[in-house]
A and B are shown apart, each in its own frame.
Chain A
Amino acid sequence: MPVAPAEYPPAVDAAAEFVTAPSDPEAIEVGVAVVGGGPAGLACAIKIMQLLEGEPELAEELGEVPVAVIEKGKVAGAHLLSGANMRPSAMRELFPDLDPSEWPVYQEVTKDAVYLLTRKRALPLKPMPPNFRNHGNYVTSIAKLGRFLGEKAEEAGVYLLAETAADKLLVSDRIVRGVRSGDKGRGRDGEELANFEPGSDVIAKATVLAEGTQGHLTGAAIDYFGLEGLLPQRWELGVKEVWEVPNPLDRVIHTMGWPLRKAAKHNEFGGSFIYPMGEDKVCIGLVVGLDYTDATFSVHDALQQLKTHPFVRKILDGGKRVGWGAKTIPSGGYWALPRTLAVPGMVIAGDGAGMVNVPELKGIHYAMHAGMYAAEAIVKALKADSVNFDAYDQRVRGSLIGDDLYRSRNMRQPFSHGFFVGGAVASLMKITRGAFPGGRWHQRPDAAEPMRIDGAGSRYPKPDNKYLFDKLSSVFASGNATRDDAPNHIRVQQHVPREVAQTWVSMCPAQVYELADEQLESGAAVVDLNITPSNCIQCGAITAKGGRLTPPEGGDGPLYQDT
């Protein structure tokens, strides 16, 4: 009997638990608090400092710390992972005086190709589906971009507070007042250890939530202020590896088809990307929608399976894996955007709001543009002593972000009807610039998909830890070294039907969830899950598929270098 994980939600009331009134007598006051040191947050912070140069009065009002960026990773960039082929518009706007040769990018895309993979062959798709054309874009590592923007932000005078989680949203009188940082030094059962350090209230005139996919406070804010979009948000999970290779790759490659299964019942939507990173590295990643239905499906293992294809072997052979990571991407598009991106005292920008164009695999430049729009709207409003940032919401919707998302608004849903229908519909949508098909195609939350135990798991290759890797050694390669006795930051039910348990066990790229051998062999319908939270790389998949990820202690998690 197929079971949907959504029927076993964890006991979490986001609004009640994660939103609270300011109460810290030793609160820290800043001008603008930005939660998230990614492209959206840092672009916002940098833009604010740029604008403040021409607004001395406002600058003084904002005080000693005009902008603080709160980042839960060890450094800005540590938790960032993406493809990516970045559109240059945002970098040009934020840094008009920088030449692209000074950007933290690998190369401009001059050649790209799309292949349909079968078990043994790679059929080039010509003409290339237009949504994959990337000429003029730059192959970029978002982890490197994060570091670059972090440096620029600090040079501009931003206080970049890394290793700091934002645990709660501070609200009073339905106005957002700031955030509360996370505690440090709690033990496995939440008890205070000898070096316990409580978090602090950070009070700000304006709060920018730029947390990226599965934003913790974003989720709480959507709950508290009732910001759900017209359709529920959905996600795709991407697992990526970085390889040193002997022969440079001359083109940006996207693939569709194998190893994902075409039949509608499996609902396996996605594809892979293989990008050159300079002369001596490539990255390869597989991105799959989390609405698949086979409980044994594992994106990480499907990626390993993909690597056994002769087309891929030719690219990676003789090389060495030097990085690995995973992260979810919001795929709900236009219909899943929050009904408004601004409430009194707060705005939401970037992936956290779902500003991702999935068919074209674009999101970084939207995030940065949104961050800059937020900066402008905030500065203008604060000058007028207001914390009404509605102008930001209007700006985003009327901009290229709103336009692009609207045009591709129904591209993702048709793929629930299988690969060929989906492909045809998506291409038509692109060619007619969104006119066809119209209406609003239905989408339901990933966790509501009934899961059944099927055959995906049996096809995965055995790892040899030289070319094909298991999850644990991959977690090691992500730079994850989280304290073992940290409290469990993942909220999920542990006594669940086997289909649900298997879904999480296979889904998680970091092997956080496990079923003990006796549980597997017992044949029981309901089983107990083992959780190893210190493996978690905070990709967010569990939140999409029925649980609730919360940020662990600041500084925990991966240390991505060039993902």
Chain B
Amino acid sequence: MKICCLVKEVPDAAVQKRIDASTMRLDRSGEKNLNPFDTHGIEAAMQIREGGAVQVDEIVSVTMGPESAVRALHKAVALGADRSVHLTDEALAGSDVCATGYALAKALESEQPDLVLLGQQSDDGECYTIGAVVADHLKMPSLTQVIKIDVAEGKLTCERQAEYGYDTVEVALPAVISVGDAINEPRYPSLKAIMGAKKKPLETYATSDVGIEPDQVGESGSKTQVLAINPPPEKAAGEIIEDEDTNETVEKIVAWLDERKLL
């Protein structure tokens, strides 16, 4: 079985995120890190390999991003991936969800994976859906927010929490599964693995290498446009009650709750 892990480089959680008003895009100049949710995807791949129910021949980490995204790939490899694929091209800058999903699917097509794993969301995009977009392009079944995976030959049994409770779904391979952070506790890379990461094979592809049509990606190929950024609406100053007569205070609270239809 070949598993491809989609990973993304995102601004570090501790960095103040801001949108650059001149480009309407996220300012990515500060510290970056491997998207924490993707580490769960890599861990899931490693557990499938170590679980022994199926033979995993290769775990490949794949990312789409600027030059600096190689660091995310090094981290992925330090965590256990065997090699990496870096899709990078100026033409891809500013791609929205539609364009990104298309581009990633094209990169994955050339790898022909049996299973694609990824984290359910990224710290910066907060879109929760890239897996489903990619899956449709790849013509594979897909599930998101999966918190348990059991592997057998040719299929997976997955659990996830949907609108009405926990669903158990059987999925035939090949498939695209995005995992929630509750699925596992990612391992820490060993010092040896970190130091050896740069030596693992890394292939770099441009759009033309994987058959991406330039007019389908990038800012010009995106189907959404950010028209404006605004600060969140100012919260009107709240009301403060000093409790002197508790019965009266409680009455006021209940009235306030009722007014807002919270009862």
Q: A481-B13, A559-B31 are in contact. Are A28 and B195 (CB under 8 A)?
A: yes
**Residues from 41 to 79 in B contacting A, C-beta threshold 8 Å:** none
Interface centre among B12, B30, B33, B191 (most CB of A within 10 A): B191
Which residue of the partner chain, among A181, A195, A322, A479, contacts B14 with CB atoms under 8 Å? Answer: A479
Q: A159-B195, A161-B194 are in contact. Are A561 and B188 (CB under 8 A)?
A: no
The reply on B235 being an interface residue by CB < 8 A is no
What per-residue 1/0 map shows which CB atoms of B16-32 lie under 8 Å from chain A? 10000000000000110
The reply on A549 being an interface residue by CB < 8 A is no
What chain B residues lie within 8 Å of A184 (beta carbons)? 188
The reply on B153 being an interface residue by CB < 8 A is no
Instruction: Determine whether the beta carbon of A200 is less than 8 Å from that of B190.
Output: yes
The reply on B185 being an interface residue by CB < 8 A is yes
Instruction: Determine whether the beta carbon of A200 is less than 8 Å from that of B191.
Output: yes
The reply on A464 being an interface residue by CB < 8 A is no
What chain B residues lie within 8 Å of A200 (beta carbons)? 190-192
What per-residue 1/0 map shows which CB atoms of A190-223 lie under 8 Å from chain B? 0001110101101000000000000000000000
Q: A195-B185, A559-B12, A561-B15 are in contact. Are A202 and B191 (CB under 8 A)?
A: yes
- B32's nearest neighbour on chain A, judged by CB, is A75
- A554's nearest neighbour on chain B, judged by CB, is B188
Instruction: Determine whether the beta carbon of B189 is less than 8 Å from that of A197.
Output: yes
CA distance A202 to B194 in the complex (A): 13
Instruction: Determine whether the beta carbon of A561 is less than 8 Å from that of B187.
Output: no
Q: A65-B195, A161-B195, A559-B31 are in contact. Are A74 and B188 (CB under 8 A)?
A: no
What per-residue 1/0 map shows which CB atoms of A376-420 lie under 8 Å from chain B? 000000000000000000000000000000000000000000000
What chain A residues lie within 8 Å of B195 (beta carbons)? 28, 65, 68, 159, 161
CA distance A200 to B190 in the complex (A): 8
Which residue of the partner chain, among A28, A159, A185, A322, contacts B188 with CB atoms under 8 Å? Answer: A185
The reply on B186 being an interface residue by CB < 8 A is yes
CA distance A559 to B186 in the complex (A): 22
The reply on A233 being an interface residue by CB < 8 A is no
What chain A residues lie within 8 Å of B194 (beta carbons)? 161, 164
**Residues from 65 to 111 in A contacting B, C-beta threshold 8 Å:** 65, 68, 74-75, 78
Instruction: Determine whether the beta carbon of A75 is less than 8 Å from that of B14.
Output: no
What chain B residues lie within 8 Å of A481 (beta carbons)? 13-14
Interface centre among B14, B33, B187 (most CB of A within 10 A): B14
Instruction: Determine whether the beta carbon of B12 is less than 8 Å from that of A74.
Output: yes
CA distance A195 to B43 in the complex (A): 10
Instruction: Determine whether the beta carbon of A181 is less than 8 Å from that of B191.
Output: yes
What chain B residues lie within 8 Å of A28 (beta carbons)? 191-192, 195
**Residues from 171 to 206 in B contacting A, C-beta threshold 8 Å:** 185-192, 194-195
The reply on A141 being an interface residue by CB < 8 A is no
Q: A26-B192, A161-B191, A200-B192 are in contact. Are A479 and B186 (CB under 8 A)?
A: no
What chain B residues lie within 8 Å of A78 (beta carbons)? 31
The reply on A538 being an interface residue by CB < 8 A is no
What chain A residues lie within 8 Å of B13 (beta carbons)? 481
Q: How far is the CB of A476 from chain B (nearest CB, A)?
A: 9
The reply on A357 being an interface residue by CB < 8 A is no
CA distance A185 to B188 in the complex (A): 7
CA distance A558 to B14 in the complex (A): 8
Instruction: Determine whether the beta carbon of A164 is less than 8 Å from that of B14.
Output: no
CA distance A544 to B59 in the complex (A): 49
**Residues from 12 to 49 in A contacting B, C-beta threshold 8 Å:** 26, 28
Which residue of the partner chain, among A75, A185, A199, contacts B191 with CB atoms under 8 Å? Answer: A199
CA distance A8 to B16 in the complex (A): 40
What chain A residues lie within 8 Å of B185 (beta carbons)? 193-195
Q: How far is the CB of A255 from chain B (nearest CB, A)?
A: 29
CA distance A74 to B14 in the complex (A): 10
What chain A residues lie within 8 Å of B189 (beta carbons)? 197
Instruction: Determine whether the beta carbon of A74 is less than 8 Å from that of B192.
Output: no
Which residue of the partner chain, among B16, B31, B188, B191, contacts A195 with CB atoms under 8 Å? Answer: B188
Q: How far is the CB of B85 from chain A (nearest CB, A)?
A: 22
CA distance A200 to B33 in the complex (A): 23
The reply on A543 being an interface residue by CB < 8 A is no
The reply on A480 being an interface residue by CB < 8 A is yes
Q: A159-B195, A164-B191 are in contact. Are A75 and B16 (CB under 8 A)?
A: no
CA distance A140 to B225 in the complex (A): 39
What chain B residues lie within 8 Å of A181 (beta carbons)? 191
What chain A residues lie within 8 Å of B14 (beta carbons)? 74, 479-481, 558-559
- B186's nearest neighbour on chain A, judged by CB, is A195
Interface centre among B13, B192, B195 (most CB of A within 10 A): B195
CA distance A31 to B14 in the complex (A): 34
Q: How far is the CB of B194 from chain A (nearest CB, A)?
A: 6
Q: How far is the CB of B96 from chain A (nearest CB, A)?
A: 29
- B75's nearest neighbour on chain A, judged by CB, is A163
CA distance A257 to B48 in the complex (A): 65
Instruction: Determine whether the beta carbon of B31 is less than 8 Å from that of A75.
Output: yes
CA distance A26 to B190 in the complex (A): 11
CA distance A197 to B43 in the complex (A): 14
- B33's nearest neighbour on chain A, judged by CB, is A74
- A181's nearest neighbour on chain B, judged by CB, is B191
What chain A residues lie within 8 Å of B30 (beta carbons)? 561
Which residue of the partner chain, among A68, A199, A202, A322, contacts B16 with CB atoms under 8 Å? Answer: A322
CA distance A74 to B75 in the complex (A): 13
5 pairs of A and B residues whose beta carbons are closest in the complex: A479-B14, A184-B188, A197-B188, A559-B14, A200-B191
Ordered by A's residue number, 30 sampled pairs between the chains whose C-beta atoms are within 8 Å are: A26-B192, A28-B195, A68-B195, A74-B12, A74-B14, A74-B31, A74-B33, A75-B31, A78-B31, A161-B191, A161-B194, A161-B195, A164-B191, A164-B194, A185-B187, A185-B188, A194-B185, A195-B188, A199-B191, A200-B190, A200-B191, A202-B191, A479-B12, A479-B14, A479-B15, A481-B14, A558-B14, A559-B14, A561-B15, A561-B31
Q: A161-B195, A195-B187 are in contact. List 15 more A-B contacts (CB 8 A).
A: A28-B195, A74-B12, A74-B14, A184-B188, A193-B185, A194-B185, A195-B186, A197-B190, A199-B191, A479-B14, A481-B13, A559-B12, A559-B15, A561-B15, A561-B31
